[in-house]
Chains A and B, each alone.
Chain A
Amino acid sequence: MITFNRETALQRSRLYTRTREHFTRKGYLEVETPILADGLIPEPTIEVFETAFSHPFKGTTARWLVPSPEVHMKQLLAAGSGSIFQISKCFRNSEQIGRYHNPEFSMLEWYTVEADYKDSIAHAEEYISAVAPRGTPEHLLPPFRVKTMHELWHTAVGLDLDELQTLEKLRKAASSLGAASSVVSSAAAEHAPETWESLFNRIFLTHIEPDIPQDKPLIITDYPARIECLAANKKGTPCKERWELYAGGIELANCYTEETDADRIEEVFRRESAAAALRSIRSGSAIPDLPQEFPEHFRSREHPFPPCSGTALGLDRLLLLFGGYTDLEGVILFPLSATM
């Protein structure tokens, strides 16, 4: 038996109403894209739910529950939709169910054409102000603090991230911090050698993220370009034009200036597909099909892909913060943990 809390349902309903009002008023078009996809952007760190479509006469074909609506929303942008937003269900498999994770979750994703990641900071501030219920505590409200990843590393651990771009240098820095993880057995290390990205995350999660000040929301900008994603490179730096928003100590949103160069997108696809294949060999995880025509959307001469910035924000987490809950179970009427 579930315990039905009317207030919880109302809080979500109000948030969605305000979200729609806000973006519609700003001239964004609300869209709905498939949850069941025939191909996904390769992301080797995300496990997906695999299913199949059975045609009565033509056999079955693989389908995937989307881990984010990015793959479809970008096709709409390519076709000339202009600025768009969506409230969408997303799915991530094989994640530990914790206070801030449920395998099925609700995401707000919006794309603003002719904008970059810096413009999106202001858009995110406007959005939070527009939807925050009366009495929302100051530490969740704008103005946001903005710091680069480089600044955070410098302040927290006294390291110059620009100087640590090779695995060797980062490894040395990690051992000086005692972050080489004394707990982990060396047998495990041989099985899956540490990558630059996982070492970066180890240091960030051990020494930097836990001490992020929580008196105001914080935007961390300029993530290392070595963390592969479809954000544009920041010219003349080893960084991507990408930020993440932390509020109340929780990672709430992720934003890019979107990569629009077809060659670079294909390159990301190639590298990420290879990494996904490697992971699949190790763990037996499923590899989603690639949306084959996807990079073609960025090559059209007639409809050049518009420069734009996209932001994804976790709505369940936002409800948790606004409502003062400590666990996603407080805001999801049917949390998966209740069925395990």
Chain B
Amino acid sequence: MIKAGQLEKGMALLIKGAPYVVVEREFVNPGKGSAFVRAKLKSPSTGQVLRETMKTQDSVEDITVEDHDCQYLYNDGESYHFMKTDNFDQFEIPLASFEDYQYLMKDGETYRITFWENKPLDIIIPFKVIYEVAEAEDAIKGDTVTGATKVVTTETGLKVRVPIFIKQGERILVNTETREYLERVNK
């Protein structure tokens, strides 16, 4: 048992016997009210999302999880296929559980995956990731307005709004939470 105020992103809770991962949590102090934590919890098996508001002093049931390094192999349109790097066990995670991750993960790359009772619960994507720009239109000539942007597509298929000077083949650093461009990466 822990207090709801101790919740962090990535922690796992047991709700009516089923594991849920904390995907978002923020603290709210409504005017003249006591402190609350508002969390978005996701079931890794169904992808179902719960919105819960707890008092920070409420007790919740956390579960002990372990992390393993796993290589992302490919997705077949229904599941992500992974391999544990320590024992080469292969396993699948339904696409529906982490639908948007297909644009964030790179084939062949190793990710940390959280397991509970040998079942994968969560895929941890680093906060900042370097992507290569696979598709980018050339900037329109004469468009010199400061702050002008365009949308490019990375090698993973992620669409990112970038400054117009970014060209195809260049590498960019992206905040994977907000999907926002951070900076150009020079070799």
Which A residues have a C-beta under 8 Å from some C-beta of B?
43, 45, 94-96, 98-99, 101, 179, 181-185, 187-188, 191-192, 197-198, 201-202, 204-206, 209-210, 223, 227-229, 244, 251, 254, 283
What is the minimal beta-carbon distance from A59 to any residue of chain B, in angstroms?
34
* Cα distance A267–B56 in the bound complex, in angstroms: 28
Q: Judging by beta carbons under 8 Å apart, are B33 and A99 in contact?
A: no
Q: Judging by beta carbons under 8 Å apart, are B31 and A244 in contact?
A: yes
* Cα distance A181–B13 in the bound complex, in angstroms: 13
* Cα distance A186–B183 in the bound complex, in angstroms: 48
B185 within 8 A of A: no
* Cα distance A228–B37 in the bound complex, in angstroms: 21
B41 within 8 A of A: yes
Q: B13: which A residues are within 8 A, CB to CB? A: 183
Q: Judging by beta carbons under 8 Å apart, are B29 and A183 in contact?
A: no
Q: A204: which B residues are within 8 A, CB to CB? A: 30
Which B residues have a C-beta under 8 Å from some C-beta of A?
1, 4-5, 13, 15-16, 26-39, 41, 50-61
Q: Judging by beta carbons under 8 Å apart, are A182 and B15 in contact?
A: yes
A-B contact count (CB 8 A): 94
Q: B60: which A residues are within 8 A, CB to CB? A: 183-185
* Cα distance A204–B53 in the bound complex, in angstroms: 9
Report which residue of B28, B31, B37, B59 has the largest number of chain A beta carbons within 10 angstroms of its beta carbon.
B31
> In this complex, what residue of A is CB-closest to B39?
A183
Sample of 21 A–B contacts (CB below 8 Å)? A43-B32, A45-B32, A95-B29, A96-B27, A101-B29, A183-B13, A183-B41, A183-B50, A183-B52, A183-B60, A184-B58, A185-B59, A188-B59, A192-B55, A205-B30, A205-B53, A206-B38, A206-B51, A206-B52, A209-B28, A254-B32
Report which residue of B5, B29, B38 has the largest number of chain A beta carbons within 10 angstroms of its beta carbon.
B29
Q: Judging by beta carbons under 8 Å apart, are A179 and B27 in contact?
A: no
Q: Judging by beta carbons under 8 Å apart, are B58 and A95 in contact?
A: no
What is the minimal beta-carbon distance from A9 to any residue of chain B, in angstroms?
22
Q: Judging by beta carbons under 8 Å apart, are A202 and B29 in contact?
A: no
> In this complex, what residue of B is CB-closest to A197?
B33
Q: A96: which B residues are within 8 A, CB to CB? A: 5, 27, 35, 37, 56
Question: A45-B34, A96-B37, A202-B36 in contact; A184/B54 too (CB < 8 A)?
Answer: yes
> In this complex, what residue of B is CB-closest to A182?
B15
> In this complex, what residue of A is CB-closest to B33?
A201
Q: Judging by beta carbons under 8 Å apart, are A205 and B16 in contact?
A: no
> In this complex, what residue of B is CB-closest to A282?
B57
